[in-house]
Amino acid sequence: DHHQLRIKILGDCYYCICGLPDFREDHAACSINMGLAMVDAISYVREKTKTEVDMRVGVHTGTVLGGVLGQKKWQFDVWSTDVTVANKMESGGIPGRVHISQTTKDCLLGGFDLEPGEGGERCEYLMEKGIDTYLVLVPKQAANGLNANKPGMLSNTNSNQLINTTVTNGNATSPQLTAADCKQE
């Protein structure tokens, strides 16, 4: 369980958030672990079906405005510049990789090996806004692929092992949020 709240599927993008409605100190690690598990699951599907399916994952941390749309069929949604940045993190990413922003990196407190993401070279928005990006390196224990018992589940998905977390009530008026969105190619 990666503690994500699915917002919507829009075209070929899956939008989800972590840290709402209840703040999580480990929201960034949860989102990265979900992204790694999704990339791993698509890799498994690609191998088993012999198709050229892949996905990019973008993760950004920030604030959002949330609300309910509709009168008969309600739908929860979120909006903000940070949601736009998360979307651009995905589009400026690399297939098969988890692409994170500097803001998300700052929330990790270690626990992941990263390399420069150079997202601005693939996405004009990231370049114009001066957003530094990173690519998550797959943890060594997960590099061998899927957990034999559960396809799509990495063996190190317990974020408490990756970063030190503290119990907090958060701030109800301005919760931290990681928006992760993934796109199949």
Kindly list the domain boundaries of the chain, sorted by start residue: 5-184
Closest CA to 83 of 106, 60, 103: 60
Looking at residue 137, its pLDDT comes to 94
Rounded to a whole number of angstroms, the distance between the first and last alpha carbons of the chain is 25
**Average pLDDT along the chain, 185 residues, taken 10 residues at a time:** 81 84 90 93 94 93 91 91 94 95 92 94 97 89 47 38 32 37 37
pLDDT at res. 174? 33
Q: How far is CA 11 from CA 14, 77, 99, 182, 185, in A?
A: 8, 15, 20, 11, 11
Instruction: Report the run of H or E that residue 184 belongs to, with start and end.
Output: strand 177-184
Q: How far is CA 103 from CA 98, 122, 176, 178, in A?
A: 14, 19, 11, 10
* CA-closest candidate to residue 107, choices 27, 169, 22, 19: 27
Architecture of domain 5-184: 2-Layer Sandwich (3.30)
Please tell me the predicted confidence (pLDDT) of residue 4: 83
Q: Who's near 49: CB < 8 A, 6+ residues apart?
A: none
The amino acid occupying position 24 is R
Q: Rounded CA gap, 86 and 59, in Å?
A: 6
Q: What is the pLDDT of residue 140?
A: 61
Residue 22: per-residue pLDDT? 85
CA distances from 163 to 15, 30, 153, 166 (A): 24, 10, 19, 10
